Amino acid sequence: AQSVTQPDIHITVSEGASLELRCNYSYGATPYLFWYVQSPGQGLQLLLKYFSGDTLVQGIKGFEAEFKRSQSSFNLRKPSVHWSDAAEYFCAVFLGNNDMRFGAGTRLTVKP
Amino acid sequence: GAVVSQHPSRVICKSGTSVKIECRSLDFQATTMFWYRQFPKQSLMLMATSNEGSKATYEQGVEKDKFLINHASLTLSTLTVTSAHPEDSSFYICSARVVHLNYGYTFGSGTRLTVV
Protein backbone atom coordinates (compact mmCIF):
# COMPACT_ATOMS: atom_id res chain seq x y z
CA ALA A 1 0.00 0.00 0.00
CA GLN A 2 1.11 3.51 -0.69
CA SER A 3 1.69 5.38 2.55
CA VAL A 4 3.64 7.93 4.48
CA THR A 5 5.19 7.10 7.85
CA GLN A 6 6.46 9.50 10.44
CA PRO A 7 8.00 7.24 13.07
CA ASP A 8 8.28 9.87 15.78
CA ILE A 9 5.03 11.05 17.34
CA HIS A 10 6.69 13.58 19.62
CA ILE A 11 10.18 15.05 19.73
CA THR A 12 11.65 17.43 22.29
CA VAL A 13 14.78 19.43 21.57
CA SER A 14 16.51 22.28 23.31
CA GLU A 15 16.50 25.69 21.74
CA GLY A 16 19.58 26.08 19.59
CA ALA A 17 20.01 22.35 19.08
CA SER A 18 19.76 20.66 15.71
CA LEU A 19 16.61 18.91 14.57
CA GLU A 20 15.80 16.02 12.30
CA LEU A 21 12.26 14.79 11.70
CA ARG A 22 11.91 11.49 9.92
CA CYS A 23 9.62 10.64 7.04
CA ASN A 24 9.45 7.42 5.07
CA TYR A 25 7.20 6.75 2.13
CA SER A 26 6.01 3.72 0.31
CA TYR A 27 5.36 4.43 -3.33
CA GLY A 28 6.27 2.72 -6.56
CA ALA A 29 7.40 5.73 -8.54
CA THR A 30 9.33 8.88 -7.72
CA PRO A 31 6.96 10.81 -5.52
CA TYR A 32 6.33 14.47 -5.05
CA LEU A 33 7.18 15.08 -1.41
CA PHE A 34 6.23 17.88 0.94
CA TRP A 35 6.73 19.03 4.48
CA TYR A 36 4.08 21.17 6.17
CA VAL A 37 4.00 22.83 9.58
CA GLN A 38 0.88 23.40 11.65
CA SER A 39 0.74 25.75 14.61
CA PRO A 40 -1.98 25.07 17.20
CA GLY A 41 -5.43 25.89 15.89
CA GLN A 42 -4.09 26.82 12.48
CA GLY A 43 -4.02 25.43 8.99
CA LEU A 44 -0.95 23.95 7.35
CA GLN A 45 1.89 25.98 5.92
CA LEU A 46 4.18 24.60 3.24
CA LEU A 47 7.80 24.44 4.36
CA LEU A 48 9.37 22.86 1.28
CA LYS A 49 8.81 20.39 -1.52
CA TYR A 50 10.73 17.98 -3.71
CA PHE A 51 9.86 16.96 -7.25
CA SER A 52 13.13 16.15 -8.96
CA GLY A 53 16.71 17.31 -9.32
CA ASP A 54 18.88 18.21 -6.39
CA THR A 55 17.96 15.87 -3.57
CA LEU A 56 18.66 18.49 -0.91
CA VAL A 57 15.94 21.10 -0.90
CA GLN A 58 15.83 24.32 1.00
CA GLY A 59 12.65 25.68 2.50
CA ILE A 60 11.39 28.55 4.53
CA LYS A 61 12.32 29.33 8.13
CA GLY A 62 15.75 27.74 7.75
CA PHE A 63 14.47 24.22 7.12
CA GLU A 64 15.89 21.77 4.60
CA ALA A 65 15.08 18.22 3.63
CA GLU A 66 16.97 15.49 1.83
CA PHE A 67 15.39 12.96 -0.50
CA LYS A 68 17.07 9.57 -0.29
CA ARG A 69 15.62 7.17 -2.82
CA SER A 70 17.55 4.17 -1.48
CA GLN A 71 16.01 4.68 1.94
CA SER A 72 12.61 5.93 0.74
CA SER A 73 13.07 8.83 3.09
CA PHE A 74 12.58 12.57 3.09
CA ASN A 75 13.81 13.78 6.45
CA LEU A 76 13.40 17.36 7.56
CA ARG A 77 16.32 19.13 9.23
CA LYS A 78 17.17 22.41 10.85
CA PRO A 79 20.62 23.21 12.26
CA SER A 80 19.44 25.39 15.13
CA VAL A 81 15.89 25.26 16.47
CA HIS A 82 14.08 28.33 17.72
CA TRP A 83 11.30 28.35 20.31
CA SER A 84 8.89 29.50 17.59
CA ASP A 85 9.48 26.24 15.72
CA ALA A 86 7.36 24.36 18.25
CA ALA A 87 4.48 22.98 16.20
CA GLU A 88 3.16 19.88 14.46
CA TYR A 89 5.00 18.81 11.33
CA PHE A 90 3.46 16.75 8.56
CA CYS A 91 5.18 14.93 5.75
CA ALA A 92 3.06 14.41 2.65
CA VAL A 93 3.25 12.57 -0.63
CA PHE A 94 1.37 13.58 -3.75
CA LEU A 95 0.41 10.47 -5.65
CA GLY A 96 -1.28 12.20 -8.58
CA ASN A 97 -4.92 12.64 -9.46
CA ASN A 98 -5.60 14.91 -6.49
CA ASP A 99 -4.42 12.20 -4.09
CA MET A 100 -2.29 13.70 -1.32
CA ARG A 101 -1.36 11.44 1.59
CA PHE A 102 -0.27 12.84 4.93
CA GLY A 103 1.80 11.24 7.64
CA ALA A 104 0.44 11.10 11.17
CA GLY A 105 2.52 14.10 12.15
CA THR A 106 5.36 14.77 14.58
CA ARG A 107 4.83 17.18 17.43
CA LEU A 108 7.91 19.26 18.18
CA THR A 109 8.46 20.70 21.65
CA VAL A 110 11.31 23.17 22.15
CA LYS A 111 12.86 23.45 25.60
CA PRO A 112 14.28 26.81 26.64
CA GLY B 1 0.01 34.69 -3.21
CA ALA B 2 -2.15 31.58 -3.12
CA VAL B 3 -4.11 32.36 0.01
CA VAL B 4 -7.17 30.45 1.13
CA SER B 5 -9.36 32.25 3.62
CA GLN B 6 -11.48 30.04 5.86
CA HIS B 7 -14.31 31.24 8.09
CA PRO B 8 -15.33 31.01 10.82
CA SER B 9 -12.24 30.06 12.79
CA ARG B 10 -14.32 28.87 15.71
CA VAL B 11 -17.98 28.02 16.04
CA ILE B 12 -20.09 26.55 18.80
CA CYS B 13 -23.53 25.25 17.90
CA LYS B 14 -26.32 23.30 19.50
CA SER B 15 -27.04 19.69 18.63
CA GLY B 16 -29.42 19.41 15.73
CA THR B 17 -28.50 22.69 14.09
CA SER B 18 -26.48 23.21 10.92
CA VAL B 19 -23.20 25.03 10.51
CA LYS B 20 -21.68 26.39 7.32
CA ILE B 21 -17.94 26.75 6.83
CA GLU B 22 -16.61 28.84 3.97
CA CYS B 23 -13.34 28.70 2.11
CA ARG B 24 -12.37 31.36 -0.38
CA SER B 25 -9.36 31.51 -2.63
CA LEU B 26 -8.31 35.13 -2.47
CA ASP B 27 -5.82 35.56 -5.29
CA PHE B 28 -6.27 32.57 -7.52
CA GLN B 29 -8.99 30.41 -8.95
CA ALA B 30 -9.47 27.08 -7.28
CA THR B 31 -11.21 24.62 -9.54
CA THR B 32 -10.69 21.93 -6.93
CA MET B 33 -10.86 22.23 -3.18
CA PHE B 34 -10.37 19.59 -0.54
CA TRP B 35 -12.02 19.27 2.85
CA TYR B 36 -10.23 17.58 5.70
CA ARG B 37 -11.15 16.68 9.21
CA GLN B 38 -8.55 16.51 11.92
CA PHE B 39 -9.03 14.86 15.28
CA PRO B 40 -6.88 15.97 18.22
CA LYS B 41 -3.25 15.00 17.82
CA GLN B 42 -3.96 13.16 14.59
CA SER B 43 -3.30 13.71 10.94
CA LEU B 44 -5.67 15.09 8.39
CA MET B 45 -8.39 12.85 7.06
CA LEU B 46 -9.65 13.71 3.60
CA MET B 47 -13.42 13.96 3.65
CA ALA B 48 -14.23 15.07 0.15
CA THR B 49 -13.00 16.73 -2.99
CA SER B 50 -15.10 19.51 -4.42
CA ASN B 51 -14.97 20.58 -8.03
CA GLU B 52 -16.39 23.85 -9.23
CA GLY B 53 -19.74 23.36 -10.88
CA SER B 54 -20.11 19.68 -10.13
CA LYS B 55 -20.91 17.33 -7.30
CA ALA B 56 -18.31 16.67 -4.66
CA THR B 57 -16.56 13.34 -4.42
CA TYR B 58 -16.73 11.90 -0.91
CA GLU B 59 -14.29 9.52 0.66
CA GLN B 60 -15.50 6.17 1.87
CA GLY B 61 -17.31 6.40 5.17
CA VAL B 62 -18.13 10.10 4.91
CA GLU B 63 -21.86 10.81 4.94
CA LYS B 64 -22.59 13.10 2.02
CA ASP B 65 -26.01 14.01 3.38
CA LYS B 66 -24.47 15.16 6.64
CA PHE B 67 -21.52 17.00 5.17
CA LEU B 68 -22.90 19.03 2.30
CA ILE B 69 -20.30 20.54 0.02
CA ASN B 70 -20.99 23.25 -2.51
CA HIS B 71 -18.44 24.68 -4.93
CA ALA B 72 -20.51 27.16 -6.85
CA SER B 73 -17.70 29.40 -8.04
CA LEU B 74 -13.99 29.28 -8.76
CA THR B 75 -13.24 31.09 -5.53
CA LEU B 76 -15.70 29.68 -3.01
CA SER B 77 -16.36 26.26 -1.55
CA THR B 78 -18.58 25.64 1.45
CA LEU B 79 -19.00 22.75 3.86
CA THR B 80 -22.28 22.54 5.75
CA VAL B 81 -22.49 20.20 8.71
CA THR B 82 -26.18 19.35 8.93
CA SER B 83 -28.00 18.22 12.06
CA ALA B 84 -24.77 18.46 13.99
CA HIS B 85 -24.05 16.12 16.87
CA PRO B 86 -21.33 16.28 19.52
CA GLU B 87 -19.34 13.62 17.67
CA ASP B 88 -19.06 16.03 14.75
CA SER B 89 -16.96 18.29 16.93
CA SER B 90 -13.60 18.51 15.25
CA PHE B 91 -11.16 20.72 13.39
CA TYR B 92 -12.08 21.15 9.73
CA ILE B 93 -9.56 22.40 7.18
CA CYS B 94 -9.96 23.20 3.53
CA SER B 95 -7.23 23.33 0.94
CA ALA B 96 -6.76 24.02 -2.72
CA ARG B 97 -4.20 22.80 -5.14
CA VAL B 98 -2.31 25.68 -6.64
CA VAL B 99 -0.92 25.12 -10.11
CA HIS B 100 2.02 27.47 -9.76
CA LEU B 101 3.04 25.66 -6.59
CA ASN B 102 3.52 22.54 -8.70
CA TYR B 103 1.04 20.31 -6.93
CA GLY B 104 1.55 21.98 -3.59
CA TYR B 105 -1.58 22.57 -1.61
CA THR B 106 -2.42 25.76 0.21
CA PHE B 107 -4.53 25.44 3.32
CA GLY B 108 -7.11 27.50 5.09
CA SER B 109 -6.56 28.32 8.74
CA GLY B 110 -9.12 25.78 9.89
CA THR B 111 -12.42 25.86 11.75
CA ARG B 112 -12.83 24.50 15.25
CA LEU B 113 -16.39 23.18 15.51
CA THR B 114 -17.83 22.40 18.91
CA VAL B 115 -21.30 20.91 19.10
CA VAL B 116 -22.95 21.12 22.51
Q: Average pLDDT, stretch A74-100? A: 91
> Secondary structure of A4-30 in the HEC alphabet?
EECCCCEEEEECCCCEEECCEEECCCC
Contacts of A103 in chain B (CB under 8 A): 43
Q: Does A36 touch chain B if contact means CB atoms closer than 8 Å?
A: yes
pLDDT at A93 over 80: yes
Beta-carbon contacts below 8 Å between A and B: 54
AA identity, residue B78: T
- Which sign does the torsion angle of CA A13, A18, A24, A29 carry? positive
pLDDT of residue A94: 84
Q: Does residue A2 register a pLDDT over 80?
A: no
Kindly give the parts of chain B with pLDDT less than 70.
1, 99-103
- Partner B, chain A 2-31, Cβ-Cβ below 8 Å: none
- Over residues B93-114, the pLDDT tens digits come to 999 977 665 657 888 999 999 9
The answer to whether the CB atoms of A105 and B34 lie below 8 A apart is no
